[in-house]
Every structure is written in C-alpha cells, then in structure tokens.
Amino acid sequence: MYSHLLIATDGSDLSEIAVERGLKLAKSLSARATVITVTEPLPIVGSFETGIPFPEEDYEKGAAQLASSLLAKVAEKARALEVNCETVHVKDQTPAEGILQTATERGCDLIVMSTHSRHGLSLMILGSQANKVVTHSPVSVLVCPPPGR
C-alpha cells in the first residue's frame, strides 16, 4: 500500500503523536520512513530600522543543534522498532513548503503529520501548515489530531 512515509516533526508533544503513529505504521507496512523537521528563516521583528538585531549565524547554529538533537531521538525510536529510517533537516522554508518539497524529491507516498488545531485569530494569523500540506500534496496525508479530538 505505502512504501515510503514522510513523517514531519517540530519536536512538540503533538508532533510526537505523528512520529509514534508514523513509525508504527511504517513498521506494520514494512515501509521505510523519512523523518523531517523544518527550520523557518530567521524571523525579523519590526521594520528594518526598528528590528531587534539577532545574529543570523547564532540562529542557524541553534536551529541546527535543535534539529540534530530532535532527529537523533526519532532515529533511535525507529531503530528500536526496526524501521528503516532516514532523517532530514530542511532550512529556510515554511514547514509546509519543506514537507511538500521533500515528499516529492524523495518519492514518498504518504505524509504523516500532526495538527495544532488552531482556529479563529491564531489560524488567520499563523495559518495551518497541515491544511497547506493537505491542500497542495500530490500524495496522501495522514493528519494526527490532538488528543481528545
């Protein structure tokens, strides 16, 4: 049915649900998995003149360390389940862009991800990465909702 799952994580408790379910699904299907985390570009607070300066290299170094730690933990879980798993850190993209691009480039046939279930003003301002992936994905998407939904 599915032979290559792309499992998205941002390290949150909600994305941990998608990681657990995605790895277990990969195991049950004898599929391989690629686990992805995406780092967005350095955010600019305020205008250029009033922006808070933050060294770009510090941001990138911190993001790389966080991604490396996160992906190492997921890789260990995959090894424990005996799931063939690769990890990838995509930089300077929105999560939806990174997930969709990686799914296409790596030939994944299912994307597994969580949703933060934003609504109201937070949905309007922040958007829904899960909704963007579902709307634009060329492959099936399994969206894991928060507990209790």
Tell me the torsion sign for CA atoms 121, 124, 127, 130.
positive
Task: Give per-residue pLDDT as tens, 101-134.
Answer: 999 999 999 999 998 655 444 444 445 888 899 9
In whole angstroms, what is the distance from residue 121 CA to residue 126 CA? 8
Strands (E), the chain: 4-8, 32-39, 85-91, 110-114, 140-144
Please give the single-letter amino acid code of residue 80. A
pLDDT of residue 45: 57
pLDDT of residue 48: 55
Q: Which residues contact 79 (CB under 8 A, 6 or more apart)?
A: 85
